[in-house]
């Protein structure tokens, strides 16, 4: 039995995370280790996106949310930003037929208006082509940051209050959630960050309040089936208590 088979045999299919979010980091370092340009690292990263989407879909995971380009990433050198934009458009065009075949539904999160027009068109075409799909929900975070999203939500709520549609004392957690780009999407159960850094980098701050965090040194282009299964097995070994005691959680599980 190889490692992938062993990990698969340890997975409990009835306890799969419903929603996995990933901070895909380490493309640049992957390229540097091979004396290649950063672009090659990003191109290689697209293969990992392809593979992980397929594995998540095959495992019956409901939602896969990928941090592909952050608001702060606009501050990278212009040629790198251009390469990333080109790759995003190219990847979505290339992948759409297989996503449709695998019943994957694309959803776009972030300030999509900031992306170059052709890329926006490619993304929009991918979203429309998969709009009828009912399998894995693939959420692509592009020009996304959590503070951008929360600020926008607060602005929308303030505007509704100013128009008299809601009053301040009606604002609750559900009001906030429903004004985020993730409205209607359950919170991530598992957040994976590849590339070795142990930080959140402005990703889903509200939504990960009770997510299990998993940090791995594996660089994103190297993050394959085995590494993904390792993360899932690790997740399944954890006890999610949501503020309760371990005894309470065990008792609830029995009933």
Q: Pick from 23, 190, 191, 232: which binds ligand IPE (CB under 6 A)?
A: 23
Give the one residue of 15, 199, 240, 250 binding ligand IPE; rule: CB under 6 A. 199
Choose the binding region for Mg ion from 23-31, 42-50, 236-244, 245-253 (rule: CB under 5 A).
23-31
Are 212 and 193 within 8 A, CB to CB? Answer: no
| DSSP structure string for 148-165 | HHHHHHHHHHHHHHHTTS
Q: Which two tokens stand for residue 44?
A: 């290689």
Select from ligand IPE, Mg ion, none the partner in contact with residue 24, using the beta carbon and a kind-dependent cut-off of 5 to 8 Å.
ligand IPE
What tokens does 203 get?
Answer: 């990703």
Q: State the residue for tokens 């990990």.
A: 7
Is 25 a residue that touches ligand IPE (CB under 6 A)?
A: yes
Residue 115 is given by DSSP the state S
Q: What's the gap between Cα 247 and its chain centre?
A: 32
Question: CB-wise, 58 or 197, nearer to ligand IPE?
Answer: 197
Using the rule CB under 6 A, give the single segment among 18-26, 53-61, 93-101, 231-239 that binds ligand IPE.
Answer: 18-26
**Catalytic one of 47, 58, 73, 107:** 73
Q: Which of 177, 201, 234, 236 binds ligand IPE (CB under 6 A)?
A: 201
Q: Residue 199, SS3? A: coil
Helix (H, G, I), strand (E, B) or coil at 168: helix
Q: Which of 188, 74, 202, 193 is nearest to 148 (CA)?
A: 202
Rg for the chain (alpha carbons), in Å?
19
Q: How many residues form the binding site for ligand IPE (CB under 6 A)? A: 18
DSSP, collapsed to helix, strand or coil, labels residue 106 as strand
49 or 61, CB closer to Mg ion?
Answer: 49
Q: Residue 183 belongs to what H/E stretch?
A: none
Pick from 98, 174, 197, 251: which binds ligand IPE (CB under 6 A)? 197
Q: Which stretch binds Mg ion (CB under 5 A): 24-32, 58-66, 86-94, 163-171?
A: 24-32
Q: Catalytic: 139?
A: no
25: annotated active-site residue: yes
**Where along the sequence are the contacts to ligand IPE (CB under 6 A)?**
23-29, 67-70, 73, 84, 195, 197, 199, 201, 220
């Amino acid at each position: 039995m190889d490692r992938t088979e062993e990990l698969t045999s340890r997975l409990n299919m009835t306890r799969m995370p419903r929603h996995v979010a990933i901070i895909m980091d380490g493309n640049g370092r992957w390229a540097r280790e091979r004396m290649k340009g950063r672009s090659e690292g990003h191109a290689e990263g697209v293969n990992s996106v392809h593979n992980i989407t397929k594995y998540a879909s095959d495992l019956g995971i409901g939602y896969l949310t990928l941090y592909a380009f952050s608001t702060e990433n606009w501050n990278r050198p212009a040629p790198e930003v251009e390469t990333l934009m080109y790759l995003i458009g190219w990847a979505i065009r290339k992948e759409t037929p297989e996503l449709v075949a695998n019943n994957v539904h694309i959803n776009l999160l972030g300030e999509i208006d900031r992306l170059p027009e052709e890329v926006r068109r490619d993304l929009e075409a991918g979203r429309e082509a998969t709009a009828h799909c009912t399998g894995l929900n693939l959420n692509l975070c592009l020009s996304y940051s959590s503070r951008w999203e929360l600020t926008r939500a607060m602005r929308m709520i303030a505007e509704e209050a100013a128009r008299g549609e809601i009053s301040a004392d009606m604002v609750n957690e559900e009001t906030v959630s429903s004004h985020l780009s993730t409205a209607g999407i359950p919170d991530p159960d598992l957040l994976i960050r590849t590339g070795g850094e142990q930080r959140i980098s402005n990703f889903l701050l509200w939504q990960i309040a009770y997510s299990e965090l998993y940090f791995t040194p594996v660089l994103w282009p190297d993050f394959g089936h085995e590494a993904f299964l390792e993360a899932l097995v690790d997740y399944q070994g954890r006890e999610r208590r949501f503020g309760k005691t371990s005894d309470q959680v065990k008792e609830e599980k029995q009933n």
